[in-house]
Chains A and B, each alone.
Chain A
Amino acid sequence: MSQIVTPTPSTEQTRQPATSGTQPAAVIATRQRCDADGVGLSHYILMDRKPAQ
């Protein structure tokens, strides 16, 4: 295993295929986070993190 991609402030991992050329990456691991501010319901309708105030 030859390459470590260090943490970057982006969500590129979710947007790019895991393959590099014809050889898929050997390992993919990513985690993102934000403030767990308690915005959480059982329906979608009010899930906007920044709704119109």
Chain B
Amino acid sequence: MSDIATACALGRHVNSGSGPSLLPLDIGHTEYLALTDPATAFWALVRKDRLAETLTGGPLLDRYRAHAAEFARELHGLRFELKPSAVYVNPTERCNLDCTYCYIPREMRRAGEHMPTKRLLDALERLKDYFVTVMPAGRKPRVIFHGAEPLMNREALFAAIDAYRDDYIFGVQTNATLLDEEALNFLTERQVSIGLSLDGPLAEITDATRRTWGGKSVHNKVLDTMERLRGYRAWSVIATCTAKNLDQLVPLVELFHARGVPTCMLNAVRCTMPGARTVRPADDVLATHFIAALERSHALYRESGRKLVVANFANILLAILAPTARRLMCDISPCGGGRAFFALAPDGGLFPCSEFIGLPAFEGGNLFSDSVGDILASPAFAKVTGRDVDKFAPCAHCAIRHFCGSPCPAEAHEMNGGMDRIGAFCGFYEEQVRYALRLIADGKANDFLWDGWDEGVETCFQVTLQ
């Protein structure tokens, strides 16, 4: 074998043979662009005037070569080797609101069934039996009561929390309208995490997408509940970003910050159901307003010393800085649906995620008649857990595909025609990643992450070259 052939086999050169594959990415920064190896979620920020020098060799490439296989293994483990540790439980099909974008079919929300108390207790027992087989000793699985509106079936919900308080960590995502004093005391005394929903700083904004079946506003009720939760350890608010509230995202984060909300999510509307698509914002407009809201949250932090973490964006930052530390499993491929968590419908049907509960083709089986293991391996679940951005265009060639994961498979399937399609907001995620990389370049990333996020986290790669 000649010297030249040997040299090539050693991976000496970037983007040829077995050398590192590094894609340049314009992040919109005056000084820097990014280089990424999407196969390992590796990234570096390189000053524009040093790009050629960096790509032709030197310490960055030497160090990356030494770590690339380790990063690939780490990413593979995160993407394919997790076991479920959480379940979304819908204890009722009913809801007292008729929100524009809900993923639960309208007729189900209006006149659906409650899960009887005895049945819910049986479900948690069966789930407990499953989780003990896949989770390490000493760790509790998580149950999130979700909707429809879980407090419509309050008696069963509270009975389940009391019966299994030693076996699960509980959370409730609620529209807040049924959280009276007694309910709030019950949940807070038991340290149940509480998530509320509010779409605007003013009633007329919230009312555009969230209202009762009779058309009544719930805005003030949510504000009242927020006030009563002030100071509680574990609560958050979700705002759904639609074409109806984009220009109100800045005042909305001001309201959240003023009312002591510790964490919020500014979620792009999930476009799984046709109704949601009627309020779908354009990607670039959404990105502009979303980033303005992030900037405002940062200014408020600098002024007050108190953070309002926008958790869905923080998770994008974590996907870049510390992939295994990410907490949300939507922006990863395959997503967490059906592999990190799954969802239980009131009739016992199991789905990869709540987002699929209105889509019968994605029911993997029934908790009361099938084994959870069999359901997780079912063809219905495999459609979701098998959605891999490495395998379809344009994601397969995208420099940031493992920072975004092309959420969400339900949207891809229902809105764009298949699991091998992008989700509803490709351009929005692209802008979030570019903004996150700009924050890293400017040394501001930590301001957007929750305090203590790095407990138990270690630095495994750090190169700074002058």
Contact = CB atoms under 8 A, between A and B. Distances in A.
Do chains A and B stick together as partners?
Answer: yes
Nearest to B58: A1
B330 A42 contact: yes
Interface size class of B (residues with CB under 8 A): 35 or more
Given A28-B44, A32-B322, A5 B457 contact: no
Contact of A32 (B142, B353, B460): B460
B173 A45 contact: yes
B293 interface: no
B43 interface: yes
A34 B466 contact: no
B194 A1 contact: no
B458 A28 contact: no
A28 B464 contact: yes
A40 B461 contact: no
A17 to B, nearest CB: 3
Interface in B330-385: 330, 332, 336-337, 340-341, 353-355
Contacts of A8: 459, 462
Contact of B336 (A3, A28, A42, A46): A42
A48 B408 CA distance: 23
B461 A18 contact: no
Nearest to B449: A14
Nearest to A3: B466
A13 to B, nearest CB: 6
B458 A47 contact: no
Interface string B228-266: 000001111010000000000000000000000001010
B144 interface: yes
Interface string B64-106: 1001000100100110011111101000000000000000000
A41 B144 CA distance: 9
Interface in A4-52: 4-11, 13-20, 23-52
A46 B464 contact: no
B445 A14 contact: yes
Interface stretch (B10-18, B47-55, B201-209, B271-279): B47-55
A26 B47 contact: yes
A2 B83 CA distance: 44
Contacts of B330: 42
Nearest to B329: A40
B144 A44 contact: no
A53 B142 CA distance: 11
Name, among A8, A15, A42, A45, the residue most crowded by chain B CB atoms within 10 Å (CB to CB): A42
B85 A26 contact: no
B465 A3 contact: yes
Contacts of A44: 195, 236, 238, 263, 265, 311-312, 327-328
Contacts of B446: 11, 14-15
A25 B236 contact: no
A45 B144 contact: yes
A19 B441 CA distance: 9
Nearest to B71: A31
Contact of A41 (B58, B71, B341, B454): B341
B463 A29 contact: yes
B465 A1 contact: yes
B402 to A, nearest CB: 13
B193 A45 contact: yes
B110 interface: no
19 contacts: A1-B58, A4-B465, A5-B463, A20-B466, A25-B47, A30-B462, A31-B67, A31-B462, A32-B460, A33-B460, A40-B85, A42-B336, A42-B337, A44-B327, A45-B144, A46-B144, A48-B193, A49-B455, A52-B191
Given A13-B459, A32-B458, A40-B327, 17 more contacts: A4-B465, A7-B460, A18-B45, A18-B442, A24-B32, A37-B85, A40-B85, A41-B86, A41-B142, A41-B144, A41-B328, A41-B341, A43-B146, A43-B265, A44-B238, A44-B328, A52-B191
